[in-house]
């Protein structure tokens, strides 16, 4: 996640308006291919709620709901406990000398049991309502290793280095020298654990509260520098609070204690490998080239986690991209895909591409023997070394030459020998006021530098192949890695009395049954029971087929017209066979060169509108445009931007290689996407049809999905894109309307969930994505949602509190802006895919407990052992693996006014994963989260255009100029008819 898969749970709605609503908006049954209305027939018997006034959907005379009132109300509901002494009375008395290990003695507190309150300023999430019971019990292994630590005091010290050192590696080198020089004499022989920044931990107190050490440090290039390192006592803590938290007797997690122990276990790898976030990489774990001067390094991830088992060390294999440690000339040739250096230098476009790839990269010079100097590249010079002039500084050469202007090439010729490539640009280091110019050929790239620029498709494929391992192989590799690390012999772990069990944790799990899916009654198979997470469309027809009367095809590829026409006929035939109503006669089939794709689309749109007018057709413009892309997919973004933000045409893009094959499976997959794009439904849950989904079927419920996608590293001028989708067809919950919005660079909090704009005539006008989707739900169902379920994708644990407070506040304000007092209960669930927990079958020889890829079966769920000690979370693997090791989605409930049971939310989430519209497989994350992810990435095409897929060498994106950077902050508006359908599929 940062790249990203997840799953979301669904909320439940209130009861519909009864027969009055039916009479006002009657709807046929699903078997007739129509959308359901807001009827309540078939729901479990229960008291009918009192009719409520419907929300006013017009923005006139809206008052801005009091932000302070709603925020205060939300804060009160999110916080428990008080600052009074009584709140602390329920905490068990603290023993004077704790001796327990940092694992619970009798497990976590029972779900639903009384938990002690927390401080008045603490934000707490819902406690676990119980453990799930639905499904077949089984056992799986998890890549978590149980950790124990003696209950002794840990001392924390603040570190200050003068002059400041920005590199963690340099800070560690300084600290290692300090320990080597003063460890016995001044540190009582203790082995501290250092976080590489400003904190030091020891397993006992140092013989001072504050001290300053002076160090003379020698660099590899021969330079020497004196540093002053200040060590000052900050605080000490024992493991008592951690033990209380792990045993479920305390709600607030003692993160400082966990962080200290985590730093101890990271000390050895931090000193010996390249650290990237929580992962460690080294060529000794394996490396392989991936092209363009980049190579893939293997490594591992480790993180200390609080779980129901106590502390566990989560260990997983990792792989990421690094610059090759080669001469800069060699890198340039490989990056630009050149066989030799061009005799006249690089084109300006190539130079800008290189500058983008090399900016920030550290190089070391080789023109002076026995003296390696390191520099960080800031730019490439427009002029070659032969024409680039600079003024010789004092002290660098003899007095007679000071102040002389000379070219870089001549300077090197006079002092170090002639350059081979003086017609190439130079590397620029330092700042503009005092730059340093270096010829490319005298620079080597320093090893161990991560490549953080956007990878092209070929590089991504190579890294995925390198990292892909079948479950049994990955499990063996992790076990071997843990044994190789041998944590129990690590001198720092021994100093802090930390031990790590070298065996994978075996835990209880359950396999949830797949839901039954309803298809149209006109097909031979009206119901479908998926098997191992998949099914097919054989003998089935879509439950609600859409209609396509006015359509056309435009071909930008080199394929002949007969190939394209045959493809169109085959596609129409398949669509009609599985339930769509597809006119076999297109308005036209065009062929155009890809060089003028935007103008061709606009011209085609104009011609088709005129043709439909001449035909007296029911539709004034095309309902669907089938587009055959050029051999390169780089124009996909341009096509989508023009069609969806300018012309208002639903489009379906196809690659020419797939048209040539034109197999039945490909055509059926296309038909699934086309159907939902023109307003149809592919299938629905049988339980939704019969109103048997607890907390969803009994009352109108809207299910949201939300995600934010951020620009690639290095794209500092690009905005982030937020997307929100919401179900529009209660009780079926299969159609999702999507909205997108641009927001500041790399901001995770969604900014436009609710907003109030000032209008000169109407005053304050409420708006925002949540409000717009609530109004759209009302227009579709003629009732307002009685419940809200909000699945939020892409949020890290450190952002939980901010996202919940700010986004829940926006949801509350959006509801209140529609009708005074309208505050439907909300369930807010975060879906995480970017975690490192992996689940393996207990027995890799038992084929009944695995799918074809050797992974755990779809529907496998874990809510014990490795989950949070007290909060409501679970791991769900809802999909069948295709290759590699499946990654379960992690669901964490941050707010739950609907009071879901464990089984209720888990079964709902798993069942929804079978309603994904684009394929006949269950997916790894709940569809509303998946759809939000797709919508956000679609919107990124609108502002990045073809540069996202790339048009330079090796499929690399072109460099954006300043005008493009400014334009990127403005997101084109979707046409209204595009918003009405699932355009992002």
Instruction: Note whether 646 and 724 are same-domain residues.
Output: no
Residue 250, in any domain of the structure: no
| Angle of helix 67-78 versus helix 800-818 axis, rounded to 10 | 130
Residue 611, in any domain of the structure: yes
CA–CA distance, 241 with 95 (Å, rounded to integer):
11
Residue 442: strand, helix, or coil = helix
Cα–chain-centroid distance for residue 379?
31
DSSP string, 529-586: --BTTB---TT---TB--EE-SEEEEE-SS--HHHHHHHHHHHHHHHHHTT-EE-SS-
Instruction: Note whether 781 and 903 are same-domain residues.
Output: yes
State whether the Cα torsion 663-654-722-58 is positive or negative. Answer: negative
Domain extent, residue 343, equals 328-446
Q: Which residues contact 390 (CB under 8 A, 6 or more apart)?
A: 405, 406, 408, 411, 435, 437
Instruction: Note whether 639 and 787 are same-domain residues.
Output: no
Instruction: Note whether 796 and 710 are same-domain residues.
Output: yes
Instruction: Note whether 771 and 795 are same-domain residues.
Output: yes
Residue 322, in any domain of the structure: no
Domain-terminating residue out of 446, 472, 505 = 446
Structure tokens at 390: 């600079």
CA–CA distance, 235 with 205 (Å, rounded to integer):
10
CA–CA distance, 927 with 676 (Å, rounded to integer):
14
Exposed/middle/buried for residue 684 (C-beta within 10 Å: 0-12, 13-18, 19+) = buried
Instruction: Note whether 594 and 699 are same-domain residues.
Output: no
Please tell me the predicted confidence (pLDDT) of residue 853: 95
Domain-terminating residue out of 402, 420, 446 = 446
Please tell me the predicted confidence (pLDDT) of residue 71: 53
pTM for this one? 0.87
Instruction: Note whether 646 and 581 are same-domain residues.
Output: yes
Element (H, E) at 628: strand 624-628
**β-strand partners of 871:** 127
Residue 255, in any domain of the structure: no
Q: Exposure string (b/e) for 66-100, b if CB count within 10 Å is 16 or more? A: eeeebbeebeeebbbbeeeeebeeeeeeeeeebeb
Residues in the chain with pLDDT < 70?
1-122, 394-403, 633, 714, 945-969
- What tens digit of pLDDT does each residue of 149-177 get? 987 899 999 999 999 998 899 999 999 99
CATH number of the domain bearing residue 604: 3.40.50.2300
Instruction: Note whether 696 and 764 are same-domain residues.
Output: yes
Residue 699, in any domain of the structure: yes
Residue 595, in any domain of the structure: yes
CATH number of the domain bearing residue 882: 3.30.420.10
Please tell me the predicted confidence (pLDDT) of residue 330: 97
Instruction: Note whether 672 and 715 are same-domain residues.
Output: no
Provide the domain count of the chain.
3
CA–CA distance, 82 with 981 (Å, rounded to integer):
48
Please tell me the predicted confidence (pLDDT) of residue 402: 56
Instruction: Note whether 633 and 731 are same-domain residues.
Output: no
Instruction: Note whether 400 and 367 are same-domain residues.
Output: yes
Question: Nearest to residue 732, comparing CAs of 42, 65, 2, 3?
Answer: 42
Residue 418, in any domain of the structure: yes
**Direct distance between the N- and C-terminal alpha carbons of the chain, in angstroms, rounded to an integer:** 20
Q: Which residue has the tokens 């209140």?
A: 816
Element (H, E) at 356: helix 348-358
| Angle of helix 800-818 versus helix 769-781 axis, rounded to 10 | 50
Question: Nearest to residue 222, comparing CAs of 369, 443, 371?
Answer: 371
Domain-terminating residue out of 618, 645, 677 = 677
Over its C-alpha atoms, the chain yields an Rg (Å, rounded) of 31
**β-strand partners of 319:** 298
Residue 107, in any domain of the structure: no
Strand order in the sheet with 736-743: 736-743, 720-727, 701-709, 787-793, 826-832, 889-896, 873-877, 860-862, 505-511, 136-142, 839-841
Instruction: Note whether 713 and 655 are same-domain residues.
Output: no
Please tell me the predicted confidence (pLDDT) of residue 123: 74
């Amino acid at each position: 996640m940062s790249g990203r898969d997840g799953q979301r749970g669904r909320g439940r709605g209130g009861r519909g308006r009864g027969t009055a609503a039916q009479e006002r908006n009657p709807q046929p049954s699903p078997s007739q291919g129509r959308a359901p209305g807001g009827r309540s027939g078939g729901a479990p018997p229960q008291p009918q709620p009192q009719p409520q006034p419907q929300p006013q959907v017009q923005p006139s005379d809206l008052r801005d709901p009091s932000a302070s009132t709603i925020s205060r109300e939300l804060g009160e509901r999110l916080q428990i406990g008080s600052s009074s002494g009584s709140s602390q009375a329920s905490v068990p008395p603290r023993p004077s000398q704790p001796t327990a290990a940092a694992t619970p003695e009798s497990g976590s507190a029972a779900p639903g049991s009384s938990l002690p309150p927390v401080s008045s300023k603490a934000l707490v999430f819902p406690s676990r309502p119980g453990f799930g019971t639905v499904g077949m019990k089984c056992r799986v292994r998890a890549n978590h290793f149980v950790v124990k630590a003696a209950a002794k005091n840990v001392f924390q010290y603040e570190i200050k280095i003068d002059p400041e050192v920005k590199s963690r590696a340099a800070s560690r080198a300084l600290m290692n020298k300090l320990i080597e020089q003063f460890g016995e004499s001044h540190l009582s022989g203790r082995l501290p654990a250092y976080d590489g920044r400003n904190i030091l931990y020891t397993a006992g107190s140092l013989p001072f509260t504050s001290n300053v050490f002076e160090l003379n440090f020698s660099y590899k290039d021969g330079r020497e520098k004196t540093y002053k390192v200040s060590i000052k006592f900050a605080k000490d803590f024992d493991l008592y609070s951690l033990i209380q938290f792990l045993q479920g007797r305390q709600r607030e997690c003692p993160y400082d204690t966990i962080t200290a122990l985590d730093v101890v276990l990271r000390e050895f790898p931090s000193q010996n490998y390249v650290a990237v976030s929580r992962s460690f990489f080294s060529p000794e774990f394996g490396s392989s080239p991936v092209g363009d001067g980049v190579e893939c390094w293997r490594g591992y991830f480790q993180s200390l986690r609080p779980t129901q088992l106590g502390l566990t060390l989560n260990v997983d294999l990792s792989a990421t991209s690094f610059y090759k440690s080669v001469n800069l000339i060699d890198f340039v040739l490989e990056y630009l895909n050149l066989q030799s250096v061009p005799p006249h230098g690089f084109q300006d476009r190539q130079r800008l591409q290189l500058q983008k790839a090399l900016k920030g990269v550290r190089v070391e010079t080789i023109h002076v023997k026995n003296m390696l100097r390191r520099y960080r590249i800031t730019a490439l010079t427009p002029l070659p070394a032969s024409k680039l002039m600079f003024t010789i500084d004092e002290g660098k050469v003899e007095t007679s030459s000071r102040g002389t202007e000379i070219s870089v090439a001549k300077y090197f010729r006079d002092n170090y020998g002639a350059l081979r490539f003086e017609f190439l640009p130079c590397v620029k280091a330092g700042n503009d006021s005092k730059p340093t110019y270096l010829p490319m050929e005298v620079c080597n790239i320093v090893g161990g530098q991560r490549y953080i620029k956007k990878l092209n498709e070929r590089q991504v494929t190579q890294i995925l192949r390198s990292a892909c391992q079948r479950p049994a192989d990955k499990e063996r590799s992790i076990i071997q890695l843990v044994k190789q690390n041998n944590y129990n012999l690590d001198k720092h772990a021994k100093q802090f009395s930390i031990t790590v069990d070298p065996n994978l944790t075996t835990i209880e799990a359950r396999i949830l049954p797949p839901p039954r899916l309803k298809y149209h009654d006109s097909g031979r198979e009206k119901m479908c029971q998926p098997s191992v997470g998949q099914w097919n469309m054989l003998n089935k027809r879509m439950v609600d087929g859409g209609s396509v009367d006015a359509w056309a095809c435009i071909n930008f590829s080199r394929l002949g017209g007969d190939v394209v026409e045959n493809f169109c006929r085959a596609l129409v035939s398949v669509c009609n066979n599985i339930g769509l109503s597809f006119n076999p006669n297109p308005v036209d089939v065009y062929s155009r060169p890809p060089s003028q794709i935007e103008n061709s689309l606009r011209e085609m749109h104009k011609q088709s509108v005129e043709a439909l007018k001449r035909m007296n057709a029911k539709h004034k413009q095309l309902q669907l445009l089938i587009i055959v892309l050029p051999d390169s997919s780089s124009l996909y973004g341009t096509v989508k931007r023009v069609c969806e933000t300018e012309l208002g045409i639903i489009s379906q893009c196809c690659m020419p290689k797939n048209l040539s094959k034109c197999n039945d499976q490909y055509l059926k997959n296309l038909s699934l996407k086309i159907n939902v794009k023109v307003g149809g439904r592919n299938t629905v849950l049988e339980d939704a049809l019969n109103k048997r989904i607890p907390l969803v079927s009994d009352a109108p419920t809207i299910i949201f999905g939300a995600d934010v996608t951020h620009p690639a590293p290095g794209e500092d001028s690009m905005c982030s894109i937020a997307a929100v989708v919401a179900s529009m067809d209660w009780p079926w919950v299969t159609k999702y309307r999507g909205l997108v919005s641009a927001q500041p660079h790399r901001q995770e909090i969604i900014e436009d969930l609710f907003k109030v704009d000032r209008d000169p005539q109407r005053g304050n006008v409420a708006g925002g994505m949540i409000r717009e989707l609530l109004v759209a739900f009302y227009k579709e169902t003629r009732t307002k949602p009685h419940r809200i379920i909000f699945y939020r994708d892409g949020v890290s644990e450190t952002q939980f509190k901010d996202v919940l407070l700010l986004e829940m506040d926006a949801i509350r304000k959006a509801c209140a802006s529609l009708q005074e007092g309208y505050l439907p209960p909300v369930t807010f669930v975060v879906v995480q895919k970017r975690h490192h927990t992996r689940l393996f079958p207990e027995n890799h020889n038992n084929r009944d407990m695995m799918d074809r890829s050797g992974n755990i079966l779809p529907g496998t769920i874990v809510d014990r052992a490795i989950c949070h000690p007290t909060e409501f979370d679970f791991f769900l693997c809802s999909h069948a693996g295709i290759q590699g090791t499946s990654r379960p989605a992690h669901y964490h409930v941050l707010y739950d006014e609907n009071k879901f049971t464990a089984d209720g939310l888990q079964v709902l989430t798993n069942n929804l994963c079978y309603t994904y519209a684009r394929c006949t497989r269950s997916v790894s994350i709940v569809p509303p989260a998946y759809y939000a992810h797709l919508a956000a990435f679609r919107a990124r095409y609108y502002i990045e255009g073809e540069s996202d897929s790339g048009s330079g060498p090796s499929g690399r994106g072109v460099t954006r100029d300043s005008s493009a950077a400014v334009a990127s902050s403005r997101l084109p508006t979707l046409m209204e008819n595009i918003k009405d359908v699932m355009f992002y599929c």
